[in-house]
Structure 1
Amino acid sequence: MSKSDDNSYRSKSIFSTPNIILLGISWSVLALLYFLLFSAKIPGSNNTEIRGNWYVLGTNIFEALAYLGAGVLCLRNWRSTQIVSSRKVWLLIGLGMIAYCVGGIFFGYTEVVLKQDPEVSLGDVFFVLTYLFLGAGMALALFSRRINLEKLQWLIVASIGVLGSFVAWSISQTNKGPAEGLAPIYQQIAFVLNWFYIVSDVLLLIIATIMLLAFWGGKVSLSWRMIAAAAFSLYIADMWFKYATNYLPDYQSGDILEVFWVFSGVLFGMGATLEYEASLSLKRRTSGRKRT
């Protein structure tokens, strides 16, 4: 074996599917332990309790790297000519992951460095792009295939859609309002963004439910179950953050349920990895039959 072949083999072995999956699981466990062990508040000024900036920065790093890794893996699927599903799907989902990573960086910078309430920030531009790209990618993946759900399955979809809508609507009814001192134009933007995120979360929840039921079984179904689970995790984290900012006074990022943002990024990456591996396996089996 030549030196170049040996380096290529080592590179492939390092970034093999089992290693990527193991890395994703390990990252999720580390994030969970980090949230559990260090999320306790410490005494601050004016008889308040706060979380250390180092801790909030750490949560942002866990989230950013999870979505960055997912974006890279999705874009790898987009570049692959062997991928079974539409490459446009992975391009859209990959762009959504990268946008969420960038949005999270701006959000963390506003909160940790500038010490401002990031109710409206430059990060929202990227979060909006995330929902647009992600929603388009998941919808394209879903409707590019024939959907044959039974009546009971459609009932499950409708029930989850109604429940998800009710939870989102209930949380949004007690809105503490824009931050004090926010200019009127930014108050209007915050109001529009609030409902955009809520509607987008519910739509993604419905799409993920249909995807979970429609892709149950089959050779490449596991990857899409991971994508559906990622959307569910995103909904949980978003709804908790909306509840916390509306109901808990002076809420600071970093509570335990926000770890579902990390889970979501990891699950998107795992879904992309499993789709890549399933596509290569299918191509190898097809090529083997042609040679015989």
Structure 2
Amino acid sequence: MNKKTSNDSSLSVQVIVLSLTAWAIIALLFFLLFSVPLPGQGRPSWYGVTTYVLEDVAFLGAAILCFRNWRSSLIVSGRTVWLAIGLGMLSYFIANLLLAQWELGWGQSPDLSPGDFFFILTYFFLGWGMLLAVISRRLNLALWQWATVLGIAIVGILLAYLLLSAPEETELPAAPTGIEQTAPANPGAPPDAAPALPESSTEADALAANTAPGWVTSLAADLEPLGDIVTLLYIIGDIILVVMATTLLLAFWGGRFSLSWRFIAAAAFSLYLADIWFFYATTYVEDYETGALPEVFFIFSAVLFGIGAALEYDLSTRSRRGGRRRA
């Protein structure tokens, strides 16, 4: 009977890992095929909806797997660790839902939205969970390992400084006619013809603006002064994330339970890479539209967190069952 239970558990973790891997591959293929906007048309509306669905399903699935570890008394690394990581995944899921409503439902693209509050909570909970995991390991790193962690921290701080000290946006030279410089809608039009947006785009923008309640635009104005503070919190959160990921890799290198935490560290690195790209793109890329290929690392992050949680559950339950059989 114990053998059957073990086989069922192995099958379960295999199904979970394969399903999550398939989800990541589907997301990568989708971004590769459709992330490049068509010339003069931009990305279709269904592209943004699909990217949000791919992210939300991945983070919700990872949250459920983490909460399963939290509810199990057999988890070796500690239930509180997985409660914190699960709350981080759930916070990202909620933040993404709010951001989707702001961008897709109401056609708004404010600097800040209520979703940013939950995104910041994601960093807090993930940092808390990974710190608890490292503490429970009774960290005893060699000198070169501490030097590695310090080096990663310095690189993260320098990168953050470059992002924060960069100009807010790259401005194009002013058009001589005093109007905004844009490509003419008709390439054959005379040089002095006034540039115009496609009629469908203008109508869609107007419609989206009309669907936003008054309190949405009012809230955006109220949150705008907090933009610099929130950006700084994001940067600090990213630095903590990459430092904790490096420490996890070094602390859990080798041993039976190291595999799951390598996936957790890889998940943190993926989230860091996606965030850094997003900050770079919004700073240096003119008229940047979300949904570029590097943003697939957000989905990779959720998938890797989920795989790490599934592996930890499988290893913990098999270890305890094996111990009872030997007894």
TM-score, length basis structure 2: 0.80
Q: How has the CA–CA distance of structure 1 residues 266 and 185 changed in structure 2, closer, same or farther, with 3 Å as cutoff?
A: same
SS at 1:24's partner residue? helix
Counterpart check, 1:159 vs 2:155: no
Tell me which residue corresponds to 2:38: 42
Q: How does 1:256-267 map to 2 (within 5 A)?
A: 256-267=293-304
Deviation per residue, 1:139-192 (Å, 9 max, x gap): 111112211111111111111111122122212222427xxx997642321111
Instruction: In structure 1, give the amino acid aligned to 2:141.
Output: L
- Asked if 1:229 corresponds to 2:231, the answer is no
- Aligned partner of 1:29 among 20, 25, 32: 25
Large movers: runs of 4+ above 4 Å: 12-15, 181-185
Q: 1:271 aligns with which of 300, 304, 308?
A: 308
Q: 2:81 aligns with which of 60, 85, 89?
A: 89
2:91 partner letter: A
Mapped pair 1:197 → 2:248? no
What stretches of structure 2 of length at least 5 have no aligned partner?
Answer: 170-217
What amino acid maps onto 1:150 in structure 2?
A
**Contact 2:167/2:283 (8 A) holds in 1:** yes
> Matches of residues 78-157 of structure 1 in structure 2 within 5 Å?
78-157=70-149
* In 2, Cα distance between equivalents of 1:125 and 1:152: 37
Aligned to 1:219: 256
The aligned amino acid for 1:187 is E
1:32 alignment partner AA: L
User: Which residue of structure 1 lines up, in the alignment, with residue 194 of structure 2?
Assistant: none
Q: Distance in 1 between matches of 2:159 and 2:260?
A: 28
SS in 1 for 2:111: coil
Please report how far the alpha carbon of residue 113 of structure 1 lies from its aligned counterpart in structure 2 after TM superposition: 2.1
CA contact (8 A) 1:64 1:104 kept: yes
Question: Does 2:292 correspond to 1:255?
Answer: yes
Alpha-carbon distance between aligned partners in 1 of 2:148 and 2:226, rounded to the nearest angstrom? 35
Question: CA 1:15–1:196 in structure 2 vs 1: closer, same or farther (change >3 Å)?
Answer: farther
CA deviation vs aligned residue, 1:213-240 (integer Å, no higher than 9, x gap):
1100111111111111000000000000
How many Å separate the matches in 2 of 1:27 and 1:72?
Answer: 16
- Structure of greater Rg: 2
Give the superposition deviation at 1:19.
0.6
Aligned residues: 276
CA change 1:13–1:241 in 2 (3 A) is same
